[in-house]
Amino acid sequence: MTAVTGEVPLQGSGLLGQPLDAREDPQLLRGEAKYVADIDLPGTAHMAILGSPVAHAKILSIETKAAEQMPGVLKVATAADFTDVMPLPCIWIPGGVESHFPPHPYGLPGARPVLTGDAVRHVGDPIAVVVAETPRQAAAALAAIAVEYEPLPVVTRADDALAEGAPQLHEAVPGNLNAYWTCGDKDRTEAALAEAEVTVELDLVNQRTINSPIEPRGAVGDYNAATDEYTLYASTQGPHNHRFLLAALVLGIPFNKLRVIAPTVGGSFGTKGYLYPDMALVLLLSKALRRPVKWVDTRTGLMNSTVQGRDHRQHVVLAGTRDGRMTGLWATSYANLGAYPSTIGPGVATALMGRSISGMYDIPAAFCEVYAAFTNTVSLGAQRGSGRAEAAFLMERLVDRYASEIGMDPAAVRRMNLVPKEKFPYDNGLGWTYDSGDYQLNFDKAMELSGYADMPARKAEARTRGKRLGVGLATYVAICGVGPSTRMSKEGMLGGTWESANIRVHPTGEVTVTVGSASTGQSHHTVFAQVAADELGIDPALVQVYEGDTLKAPYGQGTYGSRSYSMAAPAVALTARKIKAKLVKAGAVFLGVPEEKVVYAGGKVYEEGNEENTKTFAELAMAMWYGWGLPHEIEPAIDETTHFDPPDFNYPFGTHVAVVEVDELTGETEVVAYTAVDDAGNIGNPKIVLGQIEGSITHGLGQALMEAAVYDEQGLLVSSDLTKYALPRAADVPFFTLDKTTTPSPHNPLGAKGAGEIATVPPAAAVVNAVVDALSDLGVQHIDMPLTPEKVWRRLRGEAE
C-alpha cells in the first residue's frame, strides 16, 4: 500500500481544475444508459418480495400452497428454504477493534436473516418471495400467501425503546440497546458546564428522512451451473464491498465465484452501499431455478426496505462566557437504528455524528453520548452528509440559542470561536484531527457574499410586504475520505477502507483506467480520465475509464462519504506517477542517456537540455509493448496498480447563509437567497463539483422544510410514497450564490477533500436558524423540522410546539 504523508507537491499538466464536460452526459441525455431495471437476460424469471404488513408480530404460520398454484409461478420460498444462509452482517460496530485480525462478524446480535421466519419487526420486513414468469404474475401470487401473525406491541422511537417495559425486538439484545457510545472528555465537559457563566440547552428532533434516489433499487442474479459461478447485477455504490459481504459472509461461496456488476446507477446518496436481502435472494433463487432471476423495487417497497437516515432525539447543552466565548459542549442523543443493524448503520449513528459535533469551533471541553436503539422501523443507514449533518444541526442551533441568550450577533459569536488557522492540524477533542483550513477566511467570504451586513434593512423592507425575513447561518466540518483503514478499525469498521486504481497503457498509446470505486452519478469516467491525463500529460480523450465490475476492476470499497475524488482519484494519480517513473527508467535506454538526465513532461520523455532527443507517449507505449532492448530489471508493458490508504481523513468545511421569508398569513417559508462558501481543497472538475454542491444544498433544504418519514403508533410508515413524502421540486428552490475557498488536504497527493455531499451538511441548520430568526420577536427559540406551513403558522399565532 502507498501511504502519503506530509507535503506532496502537485504535479500535472494543468488539466485539473478545468470544467471539462461530463462524457457520461450524452448517453444519459439520449436515454441510452442501462440501469439495472433495463437489464434483460435471456430466460429471466421475476421475483417479488412479500413484506410484512404489520410492524411487530410473531409469525405463527406461513401457507404458500395456493401461491404455488398461481399462473406462471416457478417458486415460492420462505426462511425455511434458506436455513444454511448466514444473516446479513453489520460491519460497523461502534467501539472499535484493537487487533490486526478482525472478529468474524457472523451471527451478530440482531443481524438480519435473508427472510424472517420467527417474527416480523417492521412493516416491509421480508417474509417470503415468489419467482414467476412475469413481474405481474409474481406480484399477484404474493396475495395468495397466507401468514398468521400474533401481534406484539410496537415501538418506533429510540428513547421509547429504551424505556422500562418497552417492547423487545431481539432476544439477544435485552433492552433494545445496540450500543452506548461516547466520545470526548466527560469530566472536563461536566466541569465546564458547571462553571459556565451561561449555559443554554435545546431538545432537538433530527427527524428520520428517506433518501429517495429517483431510481429504486434492483438486482438480477445469474447463476451459471456449468461453471458454478454467480453474477449479480445490482444498483450498488460498492460492487466489491457487496461481493465481500455476500460471498464471504452470507452465501459462504468462494470469493472468486461471485462477480458483482453495477450498471449505471440512478443515484444513491448513501443507501445503495448497504447489503439487502434481495441481493442474496436473486442469487440463491437463480441457482435453485437455473434461470436468471430479476427483482426491481417499487417506490413504496423502497420506502419500506431501503435504509433511512438521520433520526436522533437529542438533549444538547452549550456553555460559554457572557462575552461570547464557548467553553463546553454536551450532546446526549437517542439514535433510532430501526429493526435490524444495517451494514454500517450503527457507526453512522455514533462516530460519524459524535466526533463532529463541535464543527469549526475551538471548544475546550466537549462530550457526546449516543444511545443507539432498535425499534420497529426500517433500518437506519447513511444519507448524504450522514452523521455530519446531524452534528452541524445541533451545534448550529446551539450557537444561535447562545447568541440570543447573551444578546450578541450570531455571526460575531461564530467568528470569535472559529478554530484559528495557526492551530492546524487541530485535535477537536472528540477524536478527529482536522487536517487543514482557514476558517476565518471562509467565514468572512460568506458574510460578505451574502450581504449579511444589509440584513436589518432587508428585514424592515420585507415587513412592509407582509413577510418576515430571517437570516440563518451555519458552518460545518465534514469528515471525508473514509478512510484510513487502521483508523477506521478503531471506529469499529470491519473492513478495509482503502481504494485502488489500475492504469494500462495500450501499444497504440490509449489508456485504460480501472478503479474499484463505482459511480452513482458522480461522472467518474470524466474525472478519473482527467486525473490520469493530467498526470501523464496526455489528451484526456485517449483515456477510457472502467469501473463497477468486480471481474474487471481492481479492488476498492466504493463511492460513499464523498471519497471518490479524495480516495480513488489519488490512487489514479499515484499509479500514473509509477508509470512516469518507469518510463523515465526505460527512457534512459531509449534515449541513450543516464536516467538522471531523463525528463518526463508534457506526455513525453526527453534528454534534459536536449529536447530534440525525445520519445512521445505513444512511441513509448509501443516500445514498451515490444519490450525490445529493455534491460532485465525493467518489465515490458505498462500496467500498474496502486492501493491507496491515506494517513488520515480529510476535513472539508464551509459557511452557509440562508435568507428566508415567512408569510405572516400562511406560515409558508420561502428560501429567497442562499449563499454557500465551501472548501473542498483542490477541486478536479469544478463543473462536476458545482452540480454536487447545488444538489446537496437542495437536499438539505428538503430536510428543513418538507421531508419526514412519519410512522404511526402501529408502526406503519405513513409517508410511504411520493404523494405523502415531499421532495424539493424545482419551484421550491432559488438559484444559489456559491463560492469557495481552497485549503488543500495534506493527506492525499491531489490535495483533495471530499465534495459530493458536504453541502448537505449545513442547510437544515441554516434554514431553521433563519426561520427562528424571523420569528424571534414572538419568543420562538426553536421549531422542529420539517418547517411545514402549518407548524410555522401555529407559532406565528403564539401556539407552543
Partner 1 sequence: MNGRPEQFSAEPNELLVERLRDGLGLTGTKVGCDTGQCGTCVVRLDGRSVKSCLILTASAAGSRVTTIEGVTERGGELTGLQEALRQEHGTQCGFCTPGMVMALGELVENTADREAPTEPEIREWLTGNLCRCTGYHSVVRGVQRACSAARAEIPEEISEGAAVTASAASAASASASASGKEV
Sites of contact with partner 1 (CB under 8 A): 21-22, 24-35, 37-38, 40, 212-216, 264-267, 269, 296, 298-300, 520-523, 687-688, 690-692, 694-699, 721-723, 727-731, 733, 735-736
Residue length of the chain: 801
Task: Give residue 278's identity as a one-letter amino acid code.
Answer: D
Residue number with CB closer to partner 1 (395 or 701): 701
Whose Cβ is closer to partner 1: residue 637's or residue 722's? Answer: 722
Other residues' Cβ atoms within 10 Å of the Cβ of residue 268: 30
C-alpha cell at 60: 405463527
CB of 265 vs partner 1, minimal distance in Å: 7
Q: How far is the CB of 62 from partner 1 (least distance, A)?
A: 26
Residue 332: which of 202, 211, 200, 450 has the closest Cα?
A: 202
| Calpha distance 226→604 (Å, rounded) | 48
User: Rounded to 10 degrees, what is the CA torsion of 423, 425, 427, 432?
Assistant: 150
Shortest reach from residue 242's CB to partner 1, in Å: 18
Q: Which is nearer to partner 1, 597 or 687 (CB)?
A: 687
DSSP string, 661-696: EEETTT--EEEEEEEEEEE-BS-S-HHHHHHHHHHH
**CB of 467: closest distance to partner 1 in angstroms?**
17
Q: Cβ closer to partner 1: 450 or 497?
A: 450
| Eight-class DSSP state of 249 | I
Q: Which one, 298 or 404, has the nearer CB to partner 1?
A: 298
The C-alpha atoms of residue 283 and residue 278 are separated, in whole angstroms, by 9
User: Residue 71 or residue 456: which is nearer to partner 1 going by CB?
Assistant: 71
Cβ proximity to partner 1: between 665 and 730 the closer is: 730
**Cβ closest to partner 1, residue 283 vs residue 515:** 515
Output the nine-digit C-alpha cell for 307: 435504509
In the complex, least distance from residue 754 CB atom to partner 1, rounded to whole angstroms: 16
The nearer residue to partner 1, 92 or 269, going by C-beta atoms, is: 269
CB of 298 to partner 1, least distance (A): 5
Q: Which is nearer to partner 1, 284 or 706 (CB)?
A: 706
Measured from the CB atom, is 19 or 153 closer to partner 1?
19
Pairing mode, strands 293-296 and 309-320: unpaired
CB of 74 to partner 1, least distance (A): 18
CA-wise closest residue to 560 among 483, 447, 470, 624: 483
The set of cell numbers assigned to 719 is: 409517508
Smallest distance from the beta carbon of 443 to partner 1, in angstroms? 24
**In terms of CB distance, is 289 or 722 closer to partner 1?**
722
Q: State in angstroms the smallest separation of the CB of 722 from partner 1.
A: 4
Helical segments of 73-185, H only: 135-142, 158-161
Strand order of the β-sheet with 499-505 is: 543-546, 511-515, 499-505, 638-644
Q: How far is CA 25 from the centre of its chain?
A: 23
Radius of gyration of the chain (CA): 27
Q: How far is the CB of 474 from partner 1 (least distance, A)?
A: 17
Would you state the cell numbers that stand for residue 290, as one nine-digit string?
A: 437455473
Strands 309-320 and 326-338: antiparallel
Nearest to 374 by CA among 395, 393, 346, 403: 346
Taking the complex as a whole, the smallest distance from the CB of residue 353 to partner 1 amounts, in Å, to 22
Cα–Cα distance measured from residue 514 to residue 436, given in angstroms and rounded to the nearest whole number: 30
Give the residue ranges of DSSP H helices in 42-97: 65-68
Nearer to partner 1, 573 or 697 (CB): 697
User: If you write DSSP's letter for every residue of 140-152 in order, what string do you get?
Assistant: HHHTT-EEEEEE-
First to last CA, the chain: 54
The answer for 17, left when phi > 0, alpha when psi is -120 to 50, beta otherwise, is left
CB of 617 to partner 1, least distance (A): 28
> The C-alpha cell of 283 is what?
442469487
CB of 392 to partner 1, least distance (A): 18
Q: In whole angstroms, how close is the CB of 688 to partner 1 at the nearest point?
A: 7
For residue 58, give the H/E element and its range: strand 57-63
Closest separation in Å from C-beta 701 to partner 1: 8
Q: Indicate the residue among 99 and 723 with the shorter CB distance to partner 1.
A: 723
Task: Give the nearest distance from C-beta 519 to partner 1 in angstroms.
Answer: 8
- The DSSP output letter for 528 is H
- CA gap 675, 17 in Å, rounded: 22
Angstrom distance (rounded) from CA 742 to CA 738: 13
Contact of 300 with 554, CB cutoff 8 Å: no
**Closer by beta carbon to partner 1, 687 or else 782:** 687
Distance between CA atoms of residues 479 and 389, nearest Å: 11
- Could you give the 3-state DSSP secondary structure of residue 155? coil
Angle, helix 439-450 to helix 410-417, in steps of 10 degrees: 160
Q: Which is nearer to partner 1, 436 or 520 (CB)?
A: 520
Q: What value, to the nearest 5°, has the Cα angle with vertex 285 and ends 281 and 289?
A: 170
Instruction: Give min distance, CB of 287 to partner 1, in A.
Output: 25
| Helix 617-626 vs helix 569-591: crossing angle, to nearest 10 | 80
Q: Give the residue with the Cβ less far from partner 1, 37 or 573.
A: 37
Beta strands (DSSP E) in 217-356 are 218-224, 229-234, 258-261, 293-296, 309-320, 326-338
